[in-house]
Structure 1
Amino acid sequence: MPLTPLDIHNKEFGRRLRGYDEDEVNEFLDQVIKDYEAIIRENKELQNQILTLQEKLGHFSNIEETLSKTIIVAQEAADEVKQNAKKEAQLIVKEAEKNADRIINDSLAKSRKVSLEVEELRKQASIYRARFRTLVEAQLDLLSHDGWDSLETASREVATTE
């Protein structure tokens, strides 16, 4: 059991002949008591400071652990968002490729249809020209025959008889 200031204060020494000066001993013991009490107070204050610092350290350790977990969760969430964005981007690209293929196929089909229509119109124009040429040639042929001459003569004769 440690020595207390009261133990020092209450300590009595036996007396002998030619012993120490009692006043000097008492004065020294008073000084020891004061110093010892100061050391005990300082020790208690330091222990209280240690407890306070340990509590703060525990608090900061909890904060550090919480922050560490939060950072890990945030990193995982960021990775998940990144992966989701990547997947969504891939889906958008695939959809765009499908739409592009569809648009190209539709354009090719329309182009073929227009080409066929143009070819059909060319054939019809060629047939029309051929028929028109035949008609014009028939009309020219009719004009170049003698039948017109007899009509001219008949009409002159009618005009002269009148």
Structure 2
Amino acid sequence: MPITPLDIRKKTFSTQFRGLAQKEVKSFLELVAKEMEELRKKRGLLEEEINELSVKLKGYERTEMLLKDTLLTAQKTTDELRSAAREKAKAMSEKAEQDAKGKLQNAQKRADEIIHTARKEADRLKYELVHLETEKSNLLHQLRAIANSFLLMIDKWESQAEKTSYDDKGTNKGKR
């Protein structure tokens, strides 16, 4: 059981032969009691301060935990955002690459179609040219034949005309 200042003050000692000087003992006990009261007050104040500091410490510990949690959450969020940004950039890059490939394929297909159409048109024009040259040749041949036929007819007419004219001249001479 703890000793209180009151216990010290009320403490009595038995006296013996050649005992202690009671006034000195009482004075000393009073001094010890006062010191003990002071120490108890200080101890009470220190305990209050310790309690206050404990409360503050617990508050700081909670704040520290909250800050750590916030920091961890912020780090996790940052990592997630970075990861999401990388994924999005990768997806956008892949999509852009696919779009570019698709456009390139479409352009290549269109170019092939244009080349194919141009070749078909060139072949058609070559065929038409050959056909027109053949037709020209046939028409020239026909025109030559017609011209020759007309020339033959003209020669025949001239020849008949000369005969008729010669006959007319000869018949006219005899009649005169």
User: What TM-score does the superposition give when structure 2 sets the normalisation length?
Assistant: 0.66
1:33 and 2:47 aligned: yes
**Residue of 68, 71, 83 corresponding to 1:54:** 68
**1:149 counterpart = 2:164:** yes
Matches within 5 A, 1:1-40: 15=8, 16-17=28-29, 18-19=31-32, 21-22=34-35, 23-40=37-54
1:119 aligns with 2:133: yes
Distance change in 2, residues 1:137/1:39 (3 Å): same
Distance 1:93 1:28, change over 3 A: same
Q: Specify the alignment match of 1:156 in structure 2.
A: none
The percentage of counterpart residues that share the same residue type is 9
Going from structure 1 to structure 2, the CA distance change for 1:40 and 1:127 (only over 3 Å counts) comes to same
1:70 match: 84
**TM-score scaled by structure 1?**
0.71
User: CA RMSD of the aligned region, Å?
Assistant: 2.8
- Cα deviation, residue 51, structure 1: 1.9
Q: Which residue of 2 aligns with 1:89?
A: 103
2:15 equivalent in structure 1: none
1:80-103 alpha-carbon deviations (Å, 9 max, x no partner): 213312322332233123212212
Aligned residues: 143
The reply to whether residue 136 of structure 1 matches residue 160 of structure 2 is no
Q: Residue 56 of structure 1: CA displacement?
A: 2.0
What do residues 17-72 of structure 1 show as CA deviations (whole Å, max 9, x unaligned)? 33363554444333323322211110011111122222222322332232122122
Q: Which runs of 5+ in 1 are unaligned?
A: 1-9, 154-162
Shift of 1:77: 1.1
> Could you tell which deviates more after superposition, 54-63 or 42-51?
54-63
Which 4+ runs in 1 deviate beyond 3 A?
Answer: 10-18, 22-27
Structure 2: 5+ residue stretches without partners: 9-27, 169-176
